[in-house]
Structure 1
């Protein structure tokens, strides 16, 4: 069981409350839920992705899966080239092309985000990894032809659109992507691990982000040669999954991709699994809150028979919530605040790692030694049959539920594409499932004995000043390179138009009540045999007493660390046995206990959910353990750029007395967490976690008449206390805006994290549709004014956003902008210029922006509620914000009626950049002179305290 982290900053969706002193609630003497799980073989039998496969004459492999549950089609193009295929001197090229291929093609010039947004694409992105580059989007069926035109144009008609200016700009964006990753705590460790595990010349030795020097040195002709060599149709797999037939797919792919000529064949780089000659131990320092020990081995890749046994062994060791490392080091000896073990299985090799986040004050060497003892014990004796069975059930359950989606990062299109690309078999996912179902403890033990008794690379990171490293330099101008000859463009058919996209058909919402009055809000979805339940309580971070910040999240964390006679480990084991996921968490306005379960195991899963909700133990020893973990988390927040900003800004704009004026993480501060008692936890539970303060939201493949008896049996007899239901106190006035800059000094930061904003004179329960539409143009979209300026024009950032957070009461408008350190002041000036131009400078919404926003916000509805999780989220949000159950179906008509004047007026009435307070987390020695030049008061704070 893992805690669901609270939403932070602009992603925050929910609220909090003023406490009332209540007596502690005794733990009811009720028998714990019985656990009855369906056999793994029954779950495996549920996994099937029927497909049709054909190959065009030019070598393009096409896979088609029909799924007509929604009028959308996932388009997923996978190129058989990744960073492992990059020769010396060309590292980072695959990733650079991921960026370039979104920048426009010969017959679709300009950013691909513009037409994709216009067609209503969802789940749209591109990624690069060691073994592949992929591009994917899910589009309404009437937009499919245009999506195929776009994908085929960047496959076959790309090079003529890459100008020297575009190349230089995207190099700069990549530099900032690297800075953003490097700037995180432990952000440099990946480089060390790869260079230690793999020898010079090994394809997996360099990171996917690559060498900035290699990118800087790349001429236009070198870049063109790389594209010609790797992005031909015969080096790609195209998957179409969703509302399409094989016949139509064959017609359309031949039309759009058929004329593209073959390219060279990329035979993926062979990569033997290296063995270190001797163990390597390295110690480094970084600006981190706790020591971390990482133990690493190179192991076989995904097609090796040992890959699944190693993955199962990793789960038993440190992947399950009931893993051996968790039980011994985190719950038992309490020398680590968190542990993990995983087997990252790539095409040719894998990387098995153990990560130990050492509890402050403990000896990292002793924790490492103890972890090795636990590993050696597992190797010597093997896992138990029960442990292996729990891993199998969890893996298959997650696979079943993940395949509800047709595309995106992990849906059915991904499963088919990966199998074809790596194994030459679209049904490789089935073989992997069968391998999991059949694996034995003896096979797991043998694989671990074979591979994990070899020498390992161990990296210990200690708190301290970060050691010097090669910072990403400025991308050079193309003037430094010999000009390349122009590309002769090839004419092709016109870009097809998008047909009429019908309005979304949101599932019918049914409501009922249990015998104790608890309301149940239900929607039916039957694409996969799974059920999702959320028990929402009107509490959240805003329910914390101002003197006991962090009580709500600590209480919610404790709820699934022991309940109904089961301790934390036994609860985790029960959950894993069922293949269920139970999580607890708090957003700004709600506290929630959620269940995700495969329907064959639903009865026992709901009973376990009820134990967590109704019968938590709140064990004193568990409280002390979680208190230590929470204090470590707060210390870690003080080393993270985004977390530091999100700790500082709420009080600056809301005031410390507001329920919203607390750190957005919900972790509280050191003093309050140290002072929280078990009685405080019990009082918070009695006060807020009660049936008359709750609603149950359900999305399931079972009908409501089968769901309700399960809920009635487990929740219907839960009676509310005699005390009045609590009400959160939002009476504290919002302070008058005092525009200023708070600079949090974080030395050695190659990038500055900017977070700014104001509290709007609006609440989440107000009708904010027009304002949010206007803000799509201004700040909350890849194509927004501020992102287009700072990322796509200036190249100072990897991504900038401004959005209205979805709180229930007074909402904040929040601007986030990670920028390269030497452009921090100019970036704030540029942001202000964009806001002022839009709001008061006469540069409001243009006709093109209006059309793009209206089309995108209406056409994307078809794909927005494809999954049960998305429907569940909509049910909960609509209820919290007082919207009607059919709200998603009302959006299109209202959006289609929007005018530019309405959008301009809504933005001008709500947003006032002269009221913004800015928090900047960066190196004060570099940043402060830039900020002083802006003419606002600058207050400098240390990262070590609020």
Structure 2
């Protein structure tokens, strides 16, 4: 599991990936200040408090200074296994950890483990803070004596299924090979966080209890509270709930162990990737954190974007690679600098390696040549920080990570200053110091294709949440229409100097039939290739200069061009958006380069190499049929490989000129802007845009989905450790009057953690890491009910029977209970406010509501609608929706191990398909 942004280094990487950095010399927008206070209890528990009363929620997180690096030989995976155990009952509560918090409306509840730390977190309504602190202090103080053999066995099975799931793509095995060969024998980072199957099987009850005693004391933890809480209240509550938690014993720690390579070391690894990849890694010391930060900045100037030397040389000019990246991986004992190049088919690794050497020699001598890139990253980092500061969870995480790793909650501020002051000479010197030395190189090739303390806290009962006071209030929304027919919707939301915008078009992949497969998606994705005013490289620089955070999304009947930026650059942002939307050139040379084979072949090869991933696409094919737009396997049909290589400027331009115009568009703007300002900008940059003649989209399907008999479709995935299962059928179209009923109906069966399917298959039987089920909403036409997940191979057939049994019971002899309704309704209602913590959430809700023909502020009434749902309404809806005897099953797995048992179930006629939906037998 990956840690959250723990420092400015991660924000630098985010800024480079999003191309949100600026290359102009203007200072970053707005002053960034995070107020916080810290205190320590007598038992050593450090607490950090950040107060922000804009939402009635509090982020509660606990970081423990223990990770997989602390595992002795023969006990790999213990840190992560114990993370799972921490969610189990204690001597003071019989329920699992999630249940009381879920009922109170907590959101984003989870735990993660990495090599250096384990953390647990949740965001709770402020009226449930006592509950959260009771729960965290309860497991910190009492979990060790509460673990039973049954609990250990259950969670061991869950973790083993998580490991099997991670191994499905093949990447886990190559990463394990890297760890064992990059780090010396006995190094704490030389094994995976999830551990080995053998060590997990050897874990005893005494072992895990000892792990708790060794590492889960109060003095080994950092507690962070971020949100609707003041420091004095926090001090009182933390002292009340945590004062009796034992401090724990000091743990001996290794502070640094940097691998040493007296000469270059090279290995060849075989994996499931479709093309060869060259990876180089240099070990780094953590003695000077400024140097580590500057190396991350240097990585961004080497391969952070299209204009960087490694990308320009290997991808653009020589066409030897389809992707190249550089990054720093920061950990406690040692860090690494890595360069990775995914090679084009047929390219000799030695040739790419020689050009990497050439680029580095030039960097050693001259440093970064594009000086503007340094300024661009500074602004991009500030933009990324501004976005993260909308979230109290992100703020709390940054404070905790700074405290844990640097004994300074605001350590990222130092890193920000180092970046802003960095010169080209600084980067040249630090890169030469650390990269002009031996390294470890791995060549990943495609596998040959073959078939005691006393306190005052009452532990006899869990605190009930206080009175729930959450609500959702949209900013004032105003609308207008430009003379050319373009609709403008503006929601003024003050606070941070940020503006989110989205140009939504009433078109999408359903229009592809009039052009070519996949043309809608390509037309939006390829907008940044160039415009009338800018070629591709100049466009990247302009995006950097403006601080323009861009993404596009294309659905079946709706497509969006989305951007955000700081409010002091609105005119530049609107001008750039208009240039991209109105005047793309779709240069044939760039399209030909993408059509040359490497990009397209890699896409198709990856799909064919991993048939386990085909289940969802083939399930859609089975439900809708090959001729329906929803039944297309994206662009993966046989014969589509050749079609995908034949996209042209003419086809893309024809789609653009026909489908995209002001009369087919609505511009949504939310943030630090007024309607008057937004209209003036829209008139200036879009006012003379001429109307288009968009294609009439085909009907989305029959009003009432046809009944279908049960059937079973199998896909062979030889050697797969798990089977991927999707089962379901079409259901009636969306109805706003029953939406709240359906959401609770879905939650109890399959969408919540405590749903019947997940509790049966994961918690009770340990056959899966997770299984879910629910109806996927769509604005028009029939919708899809699907139950999906992965099961361990030897339980595939049994699991299918359990899935059908649970659905059948839900509509038959064991319908939803009053307790289930109360649990899911309370959780859903109390979690709603936390879902509106940033401007992007309000904007997305407005756009979604418009797509469904509903008021923009519909979400304001969501809590009321949920509160009015009755048990009989849910039961009737379930009986009208789910058809357990008419399920279409798609199962991808190792057929030599599962096919005979599945056929014996008698769930329906059985067919075997290939990954493109062709019947094999």
Of 629, 647, 652, 1:676 maps to 647
Change (3 A) 1:788 1:433: same
Other structure's SS at 2:609 match: coil
- Once the two structures are superposed, the pairs formed by residues 144-543 of structure 1 within 5 Å of their partners are 144-266=129-251, 268-301=253-286, 304-384=289-369, 385-407=371-393, 411-465=394-448, 492=459, 494-508=461-475, 509-543=477-511
Q: Which stretch shows the higher mean deviation, 368-377 or 901-910?
A: 368-377
Change (3 A) 1:444 1:418: same
1:593 paired to 2:561: yes
Of 648, 671, 678, 2:618 maps to 648
1:742 paired to 2:713: yes
CA contact (8 A) 1:337 1:359 kept: yes
Of 856, 861, 876, 2:832 maps to 861
Cα offset, 1:798, TM superposition? 0.9
Change (3 A) 1:350 1:614: same
Cα offset, 1:262, TM superposition? 0.8
Deviation sequence 1:453-505 (CA, Å, 0-9, x none)? 2222222222224899xxxxxxxxxxxxxxxxxxxx99636322112222422
Q: In 1, Cα distance between the equivalents of 2:176 and 2:750?
A: 34
Relative contact order, higher structure (CA 8 A, sep 6+): 1
1:833 paired to 2:805: yes
Q: In 2, Cα distance between the equivalents of 1:870 and 1:666?
A: 33
Change (3 A) 1:295 1:119: same
Cα offset, 1:445, TM superposition? 1.6
- Once the two structures are superposed, the pairs formed by residues 76-95 of structure 1 within 5 Å of their partners are 76-95=61-80
Q: Which stretch shows the higher mean deviation, 129-138 or 283-292?
A: 283-292
Q: In 1, Cα distance between the equivalents of 2:702 and 2:588?
A: 34
Of 677, 689, 705, 2:660 maps to 689
Cα offset, 1:239, TM superposition? 0.9
Q: In 2, Cα distance between the equivalents of 1:845 and 1:322?
A: 57
Change (3 A) 1:770 1:79: same
Other structure's SS at 1:187 match: helix
Cα offset, 1:333, TM superposition? 3.0
Cα offset, 1:304, TM superposition? 2.1
TM-score in terms of structure 2 length: 0.92
Cα offset, 1:41, TM superposition? 4.4
Cα offset, 1:944, TM superposition? 7.2
Q: In 1, Cα distance between the equivalents of 2:689 and 2:287?
A: 48
Q: In 1, Cα distance between the equivalents of 2:437 and 2:652?
A: 47
2:91 match: 106
Q: In 2, Cα distance between the equivalents of 1:650 and 1:241?
A: 43
Q: In 2, Cα distance between the equivalents of 1:457 and 1:738?
A: 57
Q: Which stretch shows the higher mean deviation, 521-530 or 145-154?
A: 521-530
Of 773, 782, 790, 1:818 maps to 790
Q: In 2, Cα distance between the equivalents of 1:732 and 1:899?
A: 30
CA contact (8 A) 1:393 1:578 kept: no
Q: In 2, Cα distance between the equivalents of 1:208 and 1:540?
A: 42
Change (3 A) 1:814 1:332: farther
Q: In 1, Cα distance between the equivalents of 2:419 and 2:105?
A: 38
CA contact (8 A) 1:320 1:391 kept: no
TM-score in terms of structure 1 length: 0.89
Other structure's SS at 2:905 match: coil
Cα offset, 1:284, TM superposition? 2.3
1:880 paired to 2:851: yes
Change (3 A) 1:631 1:521: farther
1:782 match: 753
1:942 paired to 2:914: yes
Deviation sequence 1:263-291 (CA, Å, 0-9, x none)? 11235432222122322222222333222
Change (3 A) 1:266 1:437: farther
Q: In 1, Cα distance between the equivalents of 2:344 and 2:139?
A: 50
Q: In 2, Cα distance between the equivalents of 1:67 and 1:392?
A: 26
1:553 paired to 2:524: no
Q: In 2, Cα distance between the equivalents of 1:335 and 1:369?
A: 12
Aligned length: 887
Q: In 2, Cα distance between the equivalents of 1:255 and 1:667?
A: 62
How large is the Cα RMSD of the aligned pairs?
Answer: 2.5
Q: In 2, Cα distance between the equivalents of 1:641 and 1:205?
A: 31
2:128 match: 143
CA contact (8 A) 1:81 1:133 kept: yes
1:24 match: none
1:480 match: none
Cα offset, 1:360, TM superposition? 3.0
Change (3 A) 1:796 1:703: same
1:717 paired to 2:681: no
Q: In 1, Cα distance between the equivalents of 2:134 and 2:387?
A: 31
CA contact (8 A) 1:73 1:406 kept: yes
- Once the two structures are superposed, the pairs formed by residues 757-772 of structure 1 within 5 Å of their partners are 757-763=728-734, 767-772=738-743
Change (3 A) 1:591 1:516: same
1:66 paired to 2:51: yes
Of 921, 938, 941, 2:892 maps to 921
Other structure's SS at 2:732 match: strand
1:3 match: none
Cα offset, 1:246, TM superposition? 0.7
Change (3 A) 1:416 1:185: same
Q: In 1, Cα distance between the equivalents of 2:676 and 2:249?
A: 59
Runs (5+) with no aligned partner, structure 2? 1-20
2:697 match: 727
Q: In 1, Cα distance between the equivalents of 2:103 and 2:380?
A: 39
CA contact (8 A) 2:547 2:565 kept: yes
Cα offset, 1:299, TM superposition? 1.9
Deviation sequence 1:40-96 (CA, Å, 0-9, x none)? 6434x6222101111111111111111111111111111111111222222211111
1:890 match: 861
2:12 match: none
Cα offset, 1:185, TM superposition? 4.1
Runs (5+) with no aligned partner, structure 1? 1-34, 469-488
Deviation sequence 1:708-760 (CA, Å, 0-9, x none)? 32233222221213x36633433579665243222221212111211232221
Q: Which stretch shows the higher mean deviation, 146-155 or 197-206?
A: 197-206
Other structure's SS at 2:570 match: helix
Q: Which stretch shows the higher mean deviation, 666-675 or 694-703?
A: 666-675
Change (3 A) 1:168 1:940: same
Cα offset, 1:511, TM superposition? 2.2
Q: In 2, Cα distance between the equivalents of 1:156 and 1:542?
A: 57
Other structure's SS at 1:560 match: helix
Other structure's SS at 1:762 match: coil
Q: Which stretch shows the higher mean deviation, 725-734 or 98-107?
A: 725-734
